[in-house]
Amino acid sequence: MLADEAGTDLRITARGGTIGADVSGVDFGQPFSAALVAQLHAALARYKVLFFAGQHITSAQQIARGRQLGELEVHPFTMEKLGGAIFADAANPELVVVESTPEKPTVAEQWHSDTTWRECPSLGSILRMTHQPERGGETMWADMSAAYAGLDPATKALIDDAAALHDWETFRRHLRRAGTPESRIDELNRHYPVVEHPVVRTHPVTGERCLFVNAGFTVAIKGMDGEAGGALLRHLYAQAENPAYRVTHSWRAGDIAMWDNRSTQHAVTGGVVGHRRLERVTLVGDRAF
């Protein structure tokens, strides 16, 4: 148990395995002290995903707490007309809405790390459920430092100094389906060209080595031919599927999950029945190394 400078008790209970912890003694409706901010960042680096129950707060409060934890990013493609289930709040572009309805039952079922197509991918996100579906739509996170540690020595030797290319082709397809003019897509291509990141990144806080390729946005391993590189990437992608590296959260309205995008991947289970809606703010990250 830890206490912040205002006397609030911060209680952290690991969920077991290698990833995830439940946190109590934190009220997202009230300003955080500097000590609490430091404690949350330390806990995030250690446990990778933090869960907070009963946080019935406003969007403005979520944005304010996010800004206390770091600079908030604006996701460029949520500002476009994607025609899907992820979009930015018009009044607050830092706030991303993730929604599935009976008319548009869409969830992100593919394992991925957010915005790895950026030169500086996201540090992490704070996600709050506002509408709980009747069933389905659990979120899973995978510990990519445990995934790297579990690889055989030959694979580690192959990837330790390798680089991979990341692209936003998934969003490009959504934009084209939504009728976005090619001139706008060309403009976005110039602003967000294919980027190169290490296949294995070093966590800047813990020093852990983490697999940093994902099926959502990694398109190739630099210097490897398509067949060999593709086979290796598929093997690395599959590590997120290992239950030993995973934590799953069954949402209730008012729950908040805060995750470290540098050391995790996430995906959502299907089978959503009813209205599922969450709001997310995301912290600006730095260059992977």
pLDDT tens for the chain, 289 residues: list them: 343 334 458 999 999 899 999 999 999 999 999 999 999 999 999 999 999 999 999 999 999 999 999 999 999 888 776 666 677 887 899 999 999 988 887 788 899 999 999 999 999 999 999 999 999 999 999 999 999 999 999 999 999 999 999 999 988 988 898 888 999 999 999 999 999 999 999 999 999 999 999 999 999 999 998 899 999 999 999 999 999 999 999 999 999 999 999 999 999 998 899 999 999 999 999 999 9
Torsion of CA 131, 103, 84, 270, to 10 degrees: 70
Which three-class secondary structure state does DSSP give residue 239?
A: helix
- Which candidate in 4, 114, 143, 260 is catalytic? 114
Q: Which domains does the chain have, with CATH numbers?
A: 2-283 (3.60.130.10)
Residue 1 pLDDT: 38
75 is catalytic: no
Query: Quick one: tokens of 138?
Result: 């659990």
Short-list 96, 73, 76, 94, CA closest to 86: 96
| Cα torsion angle, 82, 83, 87, 91, sign | positive
Task: Decide if 197 is catalytic.
Answer: no
- CB of 214 within 8 A of CB of 153? no
Structure tokens given for 150: 């579990």
Q: What is the pLDDT of residue 122?
A: 98
| CA-atom Rg of the chain in angstroms | 19
Note the pTM of the prediction, 2 decimals.
Answer: 0.93
Amino acid of residue 217 = F
Cβ within 8 Å of residue 141, ≥6 positions away:
19, 20, 48, 49, 246, 247, 248, 249, 259, 264, 265, 266
Q: What is the pLDDT of residue 84?
A: 60
Q: Which of 65, 75, 112, 209 is catalytic?
A: 112
Q: How far is CA 10 from the centre of its chain?
A: 24
Name the active-site residue from 166, 262, 266, 276: 266
Catalytic status, residue 280: yes
**Is 22 an active-site residue?**
no
Of the listed 201, 209, 246, 280, which one is catalytic? Answer: 280
- Contact status, residue 48 vs residue 264, Cβ threshold 8 Å: yes
Q: Select from 255, 265, 260, 253 the least CA-distant residue to 23.
A: 255
Answer for the pair 119, 272: CB distance below 8 angstroms, yes or no.
no
- Among residues 220, 223, 202, the alpha carbon closest in space to that of 211 is found at 202
